[in-house]
Amino acid sequence: MTTIPESRTLVGTFSSFAQAEAVVPLLLEAGFQQENISLVGHEGEQIHETRADGTAYNYQESQSYADWVRNGGALVVIDTAGVMVERAFQVLNRAGANEVHQHAGNERMSGWSVPEEE
């Protein structure tokens, strides 16, 4: 019987949205699909996630990620599995990610909320 690799979500933190955007072509070259790559950045007074395919929607995020983005940083979020997890780590680190966090695939959206602006 074939085992299906566990789904993982990797979050790379970057100092700017431009730096995060520059990672997308590198991930695509490394074999990741556009629908599995998201950028998270601050837009006006809301945090938005923009998928590489151009769609955007409000993003519910943890306190530390929301604070990071609110202070001018950006996130690259990759949904992947199996051997591609290590490849994603390598690409994010080579691209200058400040940190890379890994979450089980089912943790990505559960229980996260954006704190209110002060």
Tokens standing for residue 72: 């001018």
The domain ranges of the chain are 7-107
Integer Cα distance of 89 and 91 in angstroms:
6
For the segment 25-51, what is each residue's pLDDT rounded down to a tens digit? 999 999 999 989 988 887 656 666 666
- Strand arrangement, sheet containing 74-81: 56-58, 46-51, 37-43, 74-81, 7-14, 99-104
Tokens standing for residue 15: 């100092």
Spatial contact of 8 and 107, defined as CB atoms under 8 Å apart = no
Give the pLDDT confidence score for residue 110 in this predicted structure.
35
Tell me the pTM: 0.75
Hey, what CATH topology would domain 7-107 get?
Alpha-Beta Plaits (3.30.70)
pLDDT of 9 strictly over 60: yes
